[in-house]
Amino acid sequence: MGFFSKLLGITPKKQPVHVNDDTFAAEVLQSKEPVILDIWGPNCVPCKQLEPIIMGLAAEYDGRVKVCEMTPQLAPRAASRLKVRGTPTVIYFKRGQEVERVVGLRSSLFHQETIESVFGIPLEEPN
C-alpha cells in the first residue's frame, strides 16, 4: 500500500476465498498458510459491518495469511463441525487447528493484533 493510501486510511480490497462443505478441508484444514475463517449470515447486520474489515485483512496480509469466508447455509456440515452458534464468528487456524475464536463484531485493529499474537505475523513485512 502506498504512502498516500495509508495517510488517507484507504485500504485496498481483496475478496476472501469462499468456502463450502466441499472445499472446507482443502482451503482451511489443509492450508499451508495460517487461515482466518469469517463465518457470516446474509441477514446479519454486524456481518455486513465486518465485511470491509475482512476484505482489508485479506489485502493487508495477502500471501502471508489466507482469509476465507463461509455461510452456515452453504456449509452446514462444516458449521456443525466447528460448533458455530452465531454470526459473525471469526476462527483462526494454524496447521489445520483452531487457535482462536472471536464471536461478534471487532475492529480491524483487534484482528491485526490477534493475527500478530496467534500467528506471529506483523501487519507490515520487514524490509
Residue 84 C-alpha cell reads as 458455530
In a domain, 32, yes or no: yes
**Domain tally for the chain?**
1
CATH of the domain at 51: 3.40.30.10
Q: For cell 493487508, what's the residue?
A: 60
pLDDT of 2 reads: 47
Partners of 5 in beta bridges: none
Rg, the chain, Cα only: 14
Angle, helix 45-60 to helix 108-119, in steps of 10 degrees: 50
| Residues 70/116, Cβ–Cβ less than 8 Å | no
Instruction: Check 19, 35, 36, 47 and give the catalytic one.
Output: 47
Instruction: Check 17, 25, 29, 44 and give the catalytic one.
Output: 44
Question: Among this protein's residues, is 47 annotated catalytic?
Answer: yes
Residue pLDDT, tens place only, 33-70: 999 999 999 999 999 999 999 999 999 999 999 999 99
* Whether the model pTM is above 0.75: yes
Question: Among this protein's residues, is 44 annotated catalytic?
Answer: yes
Model confidence band, residue 16 (pLDDT cutoffs 50, 70, 90): very high
d(CA 57, CA 37) in angstroms, rounded, equals 11
CB neighbour list of residue 52: distance below 8 Å, 6 or more residues apart: 13
| Residues 119/51, Cβ–Cβ less than 8 Å | no
Model confidence band, residue 123 (pLDDT cutoffs 50, 70, 90): confident
The pLDDT of residue 125 is above 60? no
Element (H, E) at 47: helix 45-60
In a domain, 125, yes or no: no
pLDDT of 107 reads: 96
In a domain, 16, yes or no: yes
Domain with 79, as residue range(s), is 11-119
DSSP state of 3: H
In a domain, 4, yes or no: no
